[in-house]
Structure 1
Amino acid sequence: MISLSDIRRARILVVDDEPVNVQLLEYLLKTTGYENVSSTQDPRQVVALHLKHRFDLIILDLHMPGMDGFEVMEALKPLESDSWLPVLVVTAEPDKKLAALEAGARDFIGKPIDTVEVMTRIRNLLEVRLLHRESLDYGSQLERQVRERTAELARFRGAMDATQDALFLIDTASMAMVDVSEGACRMLGFSRDALLRIDPVALGLATRTQLERLLGGGAAHDGESEADIVETDLLRAGGEGSVAVEISWKLQEPDLEHPAQRMLIAVARDISERLQAQENLRHAASYDALTGLPNRTLFFENLRDTIELAQDKNWRVAVLCITLDRFKVINDTLGTRGGDELLRQFSTRLVRCAKVRDSVGRLGGDEFALILTMPREQQDAVNMANDVRESLRMPFDLHGQQAALTASIGIAMYPDDTVEPGALVKYADTAMVRAKEAGRDGYRFFTAGMNVQVLARLDLELALRGALEDAQFVLHYQPKMELNTGRIAGTEALLRWHRPGYGLVYPAEFVPIMEETGLVVRVGDWIIDEACRQIAAWSADGVRDVRVAVNVSSRQFVEGDLEGVIRDALARHDVEPGLLELELTESALMQNAERTTEVLTRLKALGIRIAIDDFGTGYS
């Protein structure tokens, strides 16, 4: 019987070329009571050290300069009379694990290291190693017993190979496999010799605790009684994944002449096809067969989960119900085949519109739905509705027939409209009907107040798009004063909008919309040209050397040709570069910092002055 003190007195060697890995493993081993821990960072010393100390366990990194772990194991094999290498390999590459086992390693641990897993595997492997050595002390006796059992095993193997199931015979003394059936070799792709070298735990037959429980009679029974059936995964050769199996265990009846010699028999049956059939049934119950999208049942489950998360995060949730306008006409004209193809293509476009955290579903017929989580305002729902409408602009190719389509979209909000998932979908569906009645190719919110807000914003956005062409923008020039002299040091160009029927509109009301829509690039180009025109006009009137500062957006660096716009404006109005100053915020500077820095460097070399606006409020 191997005691805990025997295990902690075991001789352990840590082999790794990385000092930090060596120190970590030494620290873990020593602080958990292991008394004889050695280490080396030179894999070429392992053989000499093992000859001298006869280690019970060698923890070996696979990738080291000069001599890798596979070469070390090959060099160690002649030192072990039975080729039983006391090696635990460490690797971060899953495909190397089976190769290491076939090379002679008894077990493996992955990187990064899981402390609990590492210590458990070390203890288990040491226990097996010490049991193995203990058994070797009775070598002559065991040799006789093996000879006596050879004929019996040969007869047993014949019976094993006659079945299609995978059979594994495990010696209860060494906890190692002593024989396997041809069915096991076929199932897992190993040769018999390679399979016998693999530890049962590493193969996936059972955990060390489960094997101990089986030996104690906790699940397997003496004689012919059936054991409990357990589902697990067994490793396949060559790193080709695993095989799903169900395993039953039997503890073999002891021989009257050798009562201490008992065998555990594991019978494994491949259940991959059965599990795949079950998965197909689960998928069919939760997903739409035509489009592959979540069906109504799964969609409502996703909605309930999303609302629970939104409650914790204090988020808002939008449900968009979407119906395809004139779908019935297309379905009647092109037939079911064309209609189904249209639904499949639309579902693909809809998924492309969704973000990672959004959920898409088909509720039935031509009705689809989207779940959006929104940390802030409902504008995200409007943007998504417009994205869906925009995705329909390109005609659908339905078996050679072109079909143009629009959609009507209804939007309901959590918690604004309701906190109940079912009511939320119902309200979104009601809003969808309203959108269809309003003329199709549009969207409506369930709450009237939201519709007012959204329509007002949409009206503002449409007015902005025409403001530049209709010359509604003007620049006001605010003087900059030197505090110590009172002298005017320059001016700052401030954008104002004279909106017909509304009067003067200040930037806080419309600049955020320009940023979202990208209009800020075109308007920003106009500001630069207008500022240069004003500088030239002042100079012509005798007011010279008035520097004008203009604000620039981060989008002008990425989406526009800011450098080209400035060069053209300076040349067109014959303005000195030093009279133009660019102001940008710290956050604008940090967005696409590499591109922004390149442009600013060239502009500064041209003579343009650069200033950071609101310094200290962002990234400084």
Structure 2
Amino acid sequence: MVSRSDILNANVLIVDDQDVNIRLLEHMLSGAGYVSVTSTTNPFDVCELYRKNRYDLVLLDLQMPRMDGFQVMESLKEIELDNYLPVLVITAQPTLELRALQAGAKDFISKPFNVAETLARVHNLLEVRLLHKKVHNHAKVQESRALHDSLTGLANRQLLADRISQAITHAQRNKNAMALLYVDLDGFKQINDTFGHDGGDLVLKLVASRLVAAVRQEDTVARLGGDEFVIVMWQISSAVGASIAAEKMIQILSQPYSIHGQTVNMTASIGVSIYSVHGRDAEALSKSADLALYDAKHAGRNNYRISNRIDL
């Protein structure tokens, strides 16, 4: 629900070329308890102001010289992020009310102003707007939770599959290589046995942080579950580039960890596959990287192996 405090603290912009109308509206809103009200007499400033402040409500005069309210609404539509135009139009022409609603305005108030009606319409629109924002934000949170690992915040399997697909498409289009790195922590079970799951979870978060810091912004770090991680490297020049990245990650992950005041050492093993040598789709690349990881583990751990599987 939206509280009265939320409504009174909402961000409101008044747009009118007549300063007397602005002062009157400001007086009405401040008298009703609204505390975040700004204004402008220049319609050309509205989009920039909106872009910076993302107002919860815009009280917009329809009839202004050089740029009228309809033109302002069209400009706002181009920068509004969630396709909701929080505009309450102001007009002395009843014939323009329907056109304004059809143009995207949510409601209208007439000149000369009726104080009770104006405040009621402002209150109602703000209540709807703030509720819409809460629902929209909740949906974004739910979407994020569905695509990210709850412990580390990294991409989960679902998002990883999408990122691999995008990276392969990018590699195909640009005729370059991309790499998939499977990372598995060596001896992680001993960490859990010694420090419990809380200690183990802390290590996983630290590992996630180190991996994110080790890759480029365009690359993706994901957690498959347990102590298994995957890195999607969008573009590499050759197997040498993947080798350098793997060596860097092994070095970073082998640095000591502090768990409940104790210093713990742990290493990692990495398996690498490269598009299109070791696979031309996500399944083949994943299989190749997994087999390479198996080879790295059995070669003594704390190292990496590039797949020797050739995809024909």
* Inter-CA distance 295–167: structure 2 relative to 1 (3 Å threshold): closer
Q: Aligned to 2:234, what secondary structure does the other structure show?
A: strand
**C-alpha distance in 2, partners of 1:81/1:387?**
63
* Inter-CA distance 109–406: structure 2 relative to 1 (3 Å threshold): same
Q: Deviations over 1:40-80 (max 9, x none)?
A: xxxxxxxxxxxxxxxxxxxxxxxxxxxxxxxxxxxxx9xx7
RMSD after superposition: 3.7
- How far apart are residue 176 of structure 1 and its match? 9.6
The answer to whether the aligner puts 1:212 opposite 2:99 as a matched pair is yes
The answer to whether the aligner puts 1:293 opposite 2:147 as a matched pair is no
In the alignment, which of 399, 417, 420 is matched to residue 281 of structure 2? Answer: 420
Asked whether the 8 Å contact 1:322–1:408 carries over to 2, the reply is yes
**Identical columns (%):** 29
Q: How does 1:142-541 map onto structure 2 within 5 Å? A: 168=88, 170-171=90-91, 173=93, 212=99, 214=101, 249=107, 267-268=124-125, 269=128, 270-271=130-131, 272-447=133-308
* Inter-CA distance 126–334: structure 2 relative to 1 (3 Å threshold): same
- How far apart are residue 102 of structure 1 and its match? 2.2
The unaligned stretches of length 5 or more in structure 2 are 1-16, 23-35, 49-61, 70-85, 111-120
Q: How does 1:55-204 map onto structure 2 within 5 Å? A: 102-108=39-45, 125-126=64-65, 168=88, 170-171=90-91, 173=93
Normalising by structure 2, we get a TM-score of 0.66
Higher relative contact order (CA 8 A, sep 6+): 2
**C-alpha distance in 1, partners of 2:39/2:108?**
27
Q: Aligned to 1:108, what secondary structure does the other structure show?
A: helix
Asked whether the 8 Å contact 1:374–1:380 carries over to 2, the reply is no
Structure of greater Rg? 1
AA at the equivalent of 1:392 = L
Asked whether the 8 Å contact 2:270–2:304 carries over to 1, the reply is yes
* Inter-CA distance 129–347: structure 2 relative to 1 (3 Å threshold): closer
- How far apart are residue 408 of structure 1 and its match? 0.9
Asked whether the 8 Å contact 2:268–2:301 carries over to 1, the reply is yes
Asked whether the 8 Å contact 1:408–1:443 carries over to 2, the reply is yes
* Inter-CA distance 108–404: structure 2 relative to 1 (3 Å threshold): same
AA at the equivalent of 1:445 = I
4+ aligned runs moved over 6 Å, structure 1: 127-130, 174-177
**C-alpha distance in 2, partners of 1:391/1:175?**
69
- How far apart are residue 174 of structure 1 and its match? 7.8
**C-alpha distance in 2, partners of 1:292/1:175?**
53
AA at the equivalent of 1:126 = P
Q: How does 1:3-22 map onto structure 2 within 5 Å? A: none
- How far apart are residue 375 of structure 1 and its match? 4.5
Q: Deviations over 1:381-437 (max 9, x none)?
A: 101110111102321001112211111110111111111112211221121111101
**C-alpha distance in 2, partners of 1:320/1:250?**
57
Normalising by structure 1, we get a TM-score of 0.35
The unaligned stretches of length 5 or more in structure 1 are 1-76, 85-97, 112-122, 131-165, 178-210, 220-229, 231-246, 253-264, 450-620
